[in-house]
Amino acid sequence: MTLCPSSHLLPLSNSPSPPPMAASLTTSSAASRLLLLPSASARAPLHRLSAPHSTNTSLAASSSYAFSPLKCRRYSPLPPRAFSNQRASSMSTVAAASDPAQLKSAREDIKEILNSKFCHPILVRLGWHDAGTYNKSIEEWPRRGGANGSLRFEIELKHAANAGLVNALSLLQPIKEKYSGVTYADLFQLASATAIEEAGGPKIPMKYGRVDVSSAEECPEEGRLPAAGPPSPADHLREVFYRMGLNDKEIVALSGAHTLGRSRPDRSGWGKPETKYTKNGPGAPGGQSWTAEWLKFDNSYFKDIKAQIDEDLLVLPTDAAIFEDPAFKVYAEKYAEDQDAFFKDYAEAHAKLSNLGAKFDPPEGIVLDGVQGEKFVAAKYSSGKD
């Protein structure tokens, strides 16, 4: 999983100029990987990306963690009018609690988009990147970051880790306009959880009612999300996710979301231009996926990283770290053998991630379908208390 995927945040400087934006949202959305990959200046040699056939291969030679690095190349597309913080007054209006009926209707519209656009990975990434800026040592909302809808503003959208997420916003904007009683913060997390469920993953015990930030000045600074190819992948993952209040089990479980998606070297600097699994799409052909069925949510990510027998499957340094680091490996081995255990732990970790830093209105949140959300109180959590 990697918040930054994700968050995989790396420096924006010295990043190569971005390629032209994909001609269609269907194409760019389907092609997006779950998380952002690091900038070209931070990436490891390409020969380290594909695991060798030897079963005795060092994971360090493959790549690390599931939260693809947020430090991708600098990408500054001209955002659609709806996402410009200089326009559209609705973008700078603090929304109150979301309306439960509208949330349910919005979820059905999201399902239709998923079925037609194959955009599951990029919608998961959108939710994670909005939440993944959370810093548990900061009490004040929204300065602490987290799931507050700030990613809709151009200044944050232009963070290197968020390259390409303008396409996810464009997909969801018509839904936001249709359901004005749903906040952006809730919409991002609703889309992320729905994408996991529609791809065959577990039911996420979500709650809603997140309040949106009101202006671009409330966006977090760049650099809070994770990277894919840091010098010490396991240490880096802990540094980033411990800051959010997540533990080793949650880091590994969330990494498993890399079972979805693919990366493209011309956009992120990672992976192959095309493999036998991606040459025919769906969506725009090309890129390199972590798993053979990269739109199906299961435990293939752990199985494939453990086996390391297919050069057409991507392994980042952070991915490799989950089988290299002794504490991470305990969970990675478990999830490779037991999909039910993975689904249970993933659902809990995803729900926790989606609540990071959020301010809920009402304070207890809104539960849909009688599914009780993870008992998480943002203010309490931010103080480091149980």
Residues labelled as active-site residues: 129
Neighbouring CB atoms inside 10 A of 296's CB total 14
Ramachandran quadrant class, 42 (left: phi over 0; alpha: psi -120 to 50; beta: rest) = alpha
DSSP secondary structure of 231-288: SSHHHHHHHHHHHHT--HHHHHHHHGGGGS-EE-HHHHS-S-S--TTTTT-SSS---E
What is the 3-state composition of the chain as percent helix, strand, coil, each rounded to the nearest 5? 45, 5, 50
* Cis bond upstream, residue 362 (ω within 30): yes
Amino acid at 49: L
| SS3 category, 190 | helix
Question: For 80, phi and psi rounded to 5 degrees?
Answer: -60, 160
What are 97's two structure tokens? Answer: 């609690």
Is residue 289 within a helix (H) or strand (E), and if so which, with residue range? strand 288-289
As a residue count, the chain comes to 386
Based on its alpha-carbon atoms, the radius of gyration of the chain, rounded to whole angstroms, reads 19
Amino acid at 126: L
